[in-house]
Amino acid sequence: MFGVLSSFVRKKTVGLTALLLSSTSAFASADVVLKSSDFVGISFWLISMALVASTAFFFLERDRVAGKWKTSLTVSGLVTLIAAVHYFYMRDVWVLTGSTPTVYRYIDWLITVPLLMIEFYLILAAIAKVPNGVFWRLMIGTLVMLVGGYLGEAGYMAAFPAFVIGMLGWAYILWEIFGGEASKINATQAPQNVQSAFSLMRWIVTIGWAIYPIGYFIGYLTGADPIESMKGLNIVYNLADVLNKIAFGVIIWSVAVTESQKA
């Protein structure tokens, strides 16, 4: 934890020093500002700002919903807040160096993906009694998925077996929300609005989330150069997070508001 923090601070310091040093020459500084032709850099800015605005929105809208829905909005706001801060850093690294290792994203994922999973538990818990097993199965699936992917991307394990482990974790999550206990509670006890939200959310976890393993596959399993393919993939990952973090939160906000008005 402190290792990560201190290397974060160190990298930030190196980056700022580089920025200061190079800005002493008008020509060199042109390398370290965002260029209008840098679409990846622009996508980093857009998503950063969208995440900040979403955070403010979810936290403020918390006032409008009934007590049992407030935690869901808090968690949505935390997801976008954590991602915003993380994106500021990735954006700076991108502008300074023209690359951002995908492995950096795992620091964000390790916190935001479990929080997104908790949202399934929370929206069911707002309307029914949900056994703790649902929560734990979603957590275990998430951890297996991310640890598998990390071991492969960071080079601690061969890329293919690590990918298989990650895919198994994701499959476990999909099983829980499409066929397992979470899905049954939703089908038998949830009101219509909650069922629609639950259904949209699980399609995001299926289709929106598929972008990341596809990115892993292209980067590590097709023989492409991971550094080169990462450039194009960054833009895809940045757009994916609009769906997977912001739209996901908006679905929860929407059901929380409608269900609160009913009461």
Ligand X SMILES: *C/C=C(C)/C=C/C=C(C)/C=C/C1=C(C)CCCC1(C)C
Reference 149, options 141, 20, 27; nearest CA is 141
* Binder of ligand X out of 112, 183, 186, 234 (CB under 6 A): 112
Residue closer to ligand X by CB (options 94, 150) is 150
Contact between 78 and 115 (Cβ < 8 Å): yes
Would you count residue 146 as binding ligand X (CB under 6 A)? Answer: yes
* Binder of ligand X out of 51, 73, 90, 113 (CB under 6 A): 113
CA distance 209 to 232: 17
CA distance 137 to 140: 5
CA distance 68 to 54: 21
* Binder of ligand X out of 149, 176, 183, 230 (CB under 6 A): 149
Would you count residue 245 as binding ligand X (CB under 6 A)? Answer: yes
DSSP 8-class letter at 245 = I
- Helix or strand (DSSP H, E) at 206: none
Provide, rounded to whole angstroms, the least separation between the CB of residue 105 and ligand X: 8
CA distance 131 to 140: 15
Residue closer to ligand X by CB (options 41, 148) is 148
Provide, rounded to whole angstroms, the least separation between the CB of residue 33 and ligand X: 28
* x/- map, 159-178, ligand X, by CB under 6 A: ----x--xx--x--------
What is the residue whose two structure tokens read 């769906």? Answer: 243
Provide, rounded to whole angstroms, the least separation between the CB of residue 28 and ligand X: 35
Helices (H), 126-158: 132-153
Residue closer to ligand X by CB (options 96, 120) is 120
Provide, rounded to whole angstroms, the least separation between the CB of residue 229 and ligand X: 13
Contact between 124 and 190 (Cβ < 8 Å): yes
Which window, 35-43, 112-120, 176-184, 218-226, contacts ligand X (CB under 6 A)? 112-120
* Binder of ligand X out of 212, 219, 230, 246 (CB under 6 A): 212
Provide, rounded to whole angstroms, the least separation between the CB of residue 177 and ligand X: 13
Counting residues that bind ligand X (by CB under 6 A) gives 19
CA distance 176 to 86: 29
Q: Measure the CA angle with vertex 98, ends 148 and 46; round to 5°.
A: 80
Binding site for ligand X (CB under 6 A): 109, 112-113, 116, 145-146, 148-149, 163, 166-167, 170, 209, 212-213, 216, 241, 244-245
